[in-house]
Amino acid sequence: MIKKCIRYIYTQNIISNHYSKLFYSNETPPTTTTSNAILNDNIRCVNVACSIEFSVSSKLRGRQGYCPCCQTPVYLKKYTSKYKDTLQKLRDDYLNKQYQTSIIMEEEKNSGDKEPIGISVLLEDCRSIQNVGSIFRTSDGSGIKKIYLSGITPTPNQDLSKISLGAEESIPYRYFKNTLECIETLKKKNHYFIAIEQTPHSKSLFENKTLDEIANHTHNKDICIVMGNEIAGISDKVLEKCDITCELPMRGIKNSLNVSIAFGIVSYLLTNKFPNLITNRKPSK
């Protein structure tokens, strides 16, 4: 037993010092990080007389290797599902941080440029990537100028791109961790906020004297449509910051619409009401 323990300790030292040499001479030894430690799924030697466990990097998974102690051929199994899920989460978190950083830096870089006025949309905690992807696609089609994402609203990634058909490439967007911070930032730029929500004081979007009066006079500032969470809707604090709250009249039992469907109706209605605010991305002939 003592000999086996000594052999195990010695083997672990060999693994840490000569990792790539023991498996494949052309492999680069992996960098040890906290993430790697979390993702390690140990391999056990198939030789009963040996039976040691050892760690293997993701680069070597899914191929034939050798036990670092007795040199018995061992299949280096791929990560189990829980490790795949953990790895995917780490990747998604990283991509989100990358997108958010690049968006904010780009916004700050162009902050001195005067943008043409238009209609934008602010999504507060829209959880579903399908809904967000559809809103990107609809925004491109209806002439929306920009999309603001906040809270838990997902930023563009490969899955979203499949739904939006790549509309995120043509629609400028920016992520804010806090929705109120986004509103305060846009208020300083003279944006007019229209919340789409059913409340005791909300007015129909189809027959709205306030919007009609604004449209009849030349509207010379940006409009921002605010859409809320699929279940909770727009938070009370955000509603208080909006200039007007409008609703789509419901005539059915369910008394609700999917957020991306509702946005489709709202975006075309408002771009029709405010034609001078349409952002036309079609190349001139």
pLDDT 10s digits, 178-199: 999 999 999 999 999 999 999 9
Q: Is residue 242 part of a domain?
A: yes
Q: What are phi and psi of 260, to 5 degrees?
A: -75, -35
| Residue span of the structural domain in which 144 resides | 113-277
Instruction: List the CATH number of the domain containing 243.
Output: 3.40.1280.10
Per-residue pLDDT tens digits for 11-61: 555 444 444 444 443 443 334 343 444 444 678 888 888 888 887 766 677
Count other C-beta atoms under 10 Å from residue 219's C-beta. 17
d(CA 85, CA 88): 5
Local confidence band at 269 (pLDDT 50, 70, 90 cut-offs): very high
- pTM to 2 decimals? 0.60
CA angle 243, 248, 254 (to 5 degrees): 130
Does residue 200 have a pLDDT over 80?
yes
Q: Is residue 232 part of a domain?
A: yes
Q: Is residue 226 part of a domain?
A: yes
Residues 150 and 212 in one domain: yes
- How many residues are recorded in the chain? 285
Helix axes 209-216, 259-273, angle to 10 degrees: 40
Comparing CA positions, the residue from 146, 38, 127, 130 lying closest to residue 83 is: 38
Residues 124 and 72 in one domain: no
Residues 127 and 49 in one domain: no
d(CA 58, CA 38): 12
Looking at residue 150, the DSSP 8-state letter turns out to be E
Residues 18 and 144 in one domain: no
Q: Is residue 168 part of a domain?
A: yes
